[in-house]
Chains A and B, each alone.
Chain A
């Protein structure tokens, strides 16, 4: 049998409050479950009666407030999750863009940077031939720089 003995709770109650009846005693003598329950019930009742708590439990109003604050923070985090993901994606795209430009146009960039060295400036002033960066690369650099600053500003402002 796997079902609960219908007298089990009566037996536990009888042990606790002494409300034994003759029929209940007869039942306990023939029911292994109730006999086991009756055996340990007095000890458990006594054990449960020993109050070990020496302090006051947290105030329910404080718990309610804390729970509501936690709920709000969790909701904010949930709402901000898509934005955070977009920011990460934007950082990755910008980093990839910078890596691509620095890899493919490194020679042109090197030459363009050298263009600002004092020696080249003197040559430029005397009318000698100077290097210039193609318009598409310049536009790409400006766009990437703007995007980097934009995403960084967004991250800072969003955190604030």
Chain B
């Protein structure tokens, strides 16, 4: 991939990748750092892929690996959940934005990745499996459990959505 092609690809995907990393880590500075690392790896590996969807999946897979590596290194992701929150969304504010971020951060990292990739990125089970490095057959059950857990948390916090149908 040459520089103009990279620039075009970056402008198209970087925003989404940043949001994904940010929602996974809950840390904007960390999201910036991991975004750069993701694209550094992407350039270095120079994947011989031309299909834009495949390239996008490749970047998400790299980002997921980096985020999970980060969690393994710090092993503090659960306790850090509140620390990183910007002042405007701290618990004492009690606003919806904070409550939503808090609920999502209470999920396990893998559950966050599953839900984000399935619902926000619209990935298939096979694509999710590739990104998070598990067997494709396991995704159905894992995703079902993650959705149920999120549903329970939303009900408990009184954030359950209104009638969906």
Contact = CB atoms under 8 A, between A and B. Distances in A.
A15 interface: yes
B32 A58 contact: yes
Contacts of B40: 63, 66-67, 70
Contacts of A4: 124-126, 139-140
Contacts of B159: 43
Interface of B: 3, 6-7, 10-11, 14-15, 18-19, 22-23, 28, 32, 35-36, 39-40, 43-44, 86, 97, 100-101, 104, 115-116, 118-120, 122, 124-126, 137-141, 143-144, 147-148, 150-151, 154, 159-162, 164-165
A63 B141 contact: no
Nearest to A66: B40
Contacts of B139: 4
Interface string A1-30: 111100001001001000010000100100
A88 B95 CA distance: 62
Interface in A61-93: 61, 63-64, 66-68, 70-71
Given A52-B28, A68-B43, A20 B165 contact: yes
Contact of B100 (A20, A46, A53): A46
Given A33-B140, A53-B22, A40 B44 contact: no
Nearest to B97: A50
A38 B165 CA distance: 8
Nearest to A41: B119
Contacts of B101: 47
A32 B164 contact: no
Interface of A is mostly: helix
A154 to B, nearest CB: 31
Given A45-B119, A50-B100, A52-B22, A57 B150 contact: no
Interface of B is mostly: helix
Given A40-B119, A53-B15, A53-B22, A47 B100 contact: yes
A36 B151 contact: yes
Contacts of A61: 3, 7
A53 B144 CA distance: 30
How many A residues touch the partner, as a band? 35 or more
Nearest to A62: B36
B43 A67 contact: yes
Contact of A63 (B43, B140, B154): B43
Residue from B116, B119, B143, B154 whose CB has the most chain A CB atoms within 10 Å: B119
Contacts of B39: 60, 63, 67
Contacts of B137: 2-3
B165 A43 contact: no
13 contacts: A2-B137, A36-B144, A39-B147, A39-B161, A43-B100, A44-B120, A44-B150, A48-B119, A52-B28, A57-B35, A61-B3, A61-B7, A63-B10
Residue from B44, B147, B164 whose CB has the most chain A CB atoms within 10 Å: B164
A44 B160 CA distance: 11
In the complex, the 8 A-B pairs of residues with the closest C-beta atoms, listed nearest first: A36-B147, A67-B43, A42-B161, A60-B10, A2-B137, A44-B119, A4-B125, A48-B120
